[in-house]
Amino acid sequence: MFLATVFIIAVALGIDAFSVAIGIGAANHQKPWWPPVLRLSLAFGFFQFMMAVLGWLAGSTIVEMIAAFDHWVAFGLLALIGGKMIWEGLEKEERKEKSDQTKGLPLLMLAIATSIDSLAVGFSFSVLKNPILLAAVIIGIVCFFMTALGMMFGKALAKIFGKKVSIFGGLVLIAIGVKILIEHI
């Protein structure tokens, strides 16, 4: 029963990562495309894993301190990256180098934004006196695969709709940020 519950929690946590990955996959459809898929999947999976562990370790201390504004942080990060993707989608074709959201600071911001809920899950595991290591590993692995699937789906969308799918991806990121705000207000 414990494993089934953890798997359901992992899928629920992975939905935001999957949605973000669709947008990023659509914007990053250049070749070679496996390195961006692996970077994003590893980062999202690792951050989901680590945030669950950190939430468990922190108990009520840190989670209660950031609970008042964690949704604003997630919204801000997603809106910033989403706005940048929309801007790039609206730019003329002559621009040669598109920024890669699976590298550097954008990758870090997206990984944090999509894994904040995992911190709360880890916290709830500590309150319930449940072990975290196996649960965190399952959460990280499920998120890894959901992110990879999202990237592949986004790439398929880009083949069908072309460059303008970057605008869609940016709108998806902003919509996820708004959803997070609405859920926490």
Which tens digits make up the pLDDT trace of 96-131?
456 677 888 888 988 988 888 888 788 878 877 788
pLDDT at site 22: 85
Q: Identify whether the C-beta of residue 25 lies closer than 8 Å to the C-beta of residue 153.
A: yes
Question: In the predicted model, what is the mean pLDDT of the chain?
Answer: 81
Condensed to tens digits (0 to 9), the pLDDT of residues 52-94 reads: 999 899 875 665 676 677 778 778 777 877 787 788 777 765 5
**Stated pTM of the model:** 0.76
What tokens were used for 50? 């680590």
Residue 50 confidence class, pLDDT cut points 50, 70, 90: very high
Give me the pLDDT at residue 62, please: 63
CB 55 within 8 A of CB 119: yes
124 is in which domain, residue-wise?
2-184
| CA trace torsion 104, 59, 133, 107 (10° rounding) | -10
Angle value at C-alpha 118, between 115 and 119, nearest 5 degrees: 100
Query: Could you tell me if 55 and 121 are in contact, meaning their C-beta atoms sit under 8 angstroms apart?
Result: yes
Q: What is the pLDDT of residue 38?
A: 92
Domains in the chain, number: 1
Q: pLDDT tens for residues 22-32?
A: 888 877 766 65
From 21, 185, 38, select the one nearest 113 (Cα to Cα). Answer: 21
What is the Cα–Cα distance from 103 to 145, expressed in whole angstroms? 19
Cα dihedral value 109, 114, 120, 123, nearest 10? -70
pLDDT of residue 54: 92
Q: What percent of the chain has pLDDT over 90?
A: 21
